[in-house]
Amino acid sequence: MPSTRPRPRAVLVIVVALFVLAAAGVGLWMVLKKSETRSAEKLCTQLGAVTSLSSSLVTLDPTTLGPQVAELQRAAAVAPSDIQAQMMVLASFVEELADAVRASPVDKKATLIAALAERQDRVDEVTASGQAVEAWAITNCGVPLRTTTTQKSSTTTTRR
């Protein structure tokens, strides 16, 4: 009658296979959980994607506001240590405002005004962070974050 006990070699193969699968799983998990590398180059690139955030906030257009807030969050995730804190302040503030506006079923402008009023105590911190990020972007990316799209219209009066 043959023995029903597994052979030592078969057990060893199964243990090695399980070990290899576990190591591969841990390796994959570490790769997926690895935080993005922070660098000035990546932040400059990401800031280029946050081009219409201010107009999205002004118009409260949900089709552009959500994606722009997400781009700002991604920018904060890759910001180097010298500007990371200021980027996090901006990103969290804007996200809070956007969340409040998105949650409002009715008058979104009134909701935005109320959300800003509720956060009045943070305006100085957010303003300072915005100025720091803009100065950093000019120095490291060579571009200002603010765009001037308003043009003065001039009328000329001709005297005869």
Tens digits of residue pLDDT in 43-91: 999 888 887 888 888 888 878 888 889 999 999 999 999 999 999 999 9
Percent of the chain with pLDDT over 90: 36
Least confident of 31-35, 101-105, 123-127: 31-35
Q: How many separate domains does the chain show?
A: 1
Q: Per the domain annotation, does 85 fall within a domain? A: yes
Q: Per the domain annotation, does 9 fall within a domain? A: no
Rg (the chain; Cα; Å): 27
Identify whether the C-beta of residue 61 lies closer than 8 Å to the C-beta of residue 101: no
Residue 142, SS3? coil
**Token reading at 55:** 């107009």
Q: Per the domain annotation, does 86 fall within a domain? A: yes
The whole-angstrom separation of Cα 122 and Cα 94 is 12
The enclosing H or E element of 114 equals helix 108-118
Q: Per the domain annotation, does 134 fall within a domain? A: yes
Q: Per the domain annotation, does 15 fall within a domain? A: no
Q: Per the domain annotation, does 82 fall within a domain? A: yes
Give pLDDT, residue 140.
93
Confidence of residue 156 (pLDDT cuts 50, 70, 90): very low
Higher pLDDT pick, 94 / 33: 94
Residue 99: which of 50, 66, 63 has the closest Cα? 66
Give pLDDT, residue 106.
84
Domain span at residue 110 reads 40-141
Q: Per the domain annotation, does 148 fall within a domain? A: no
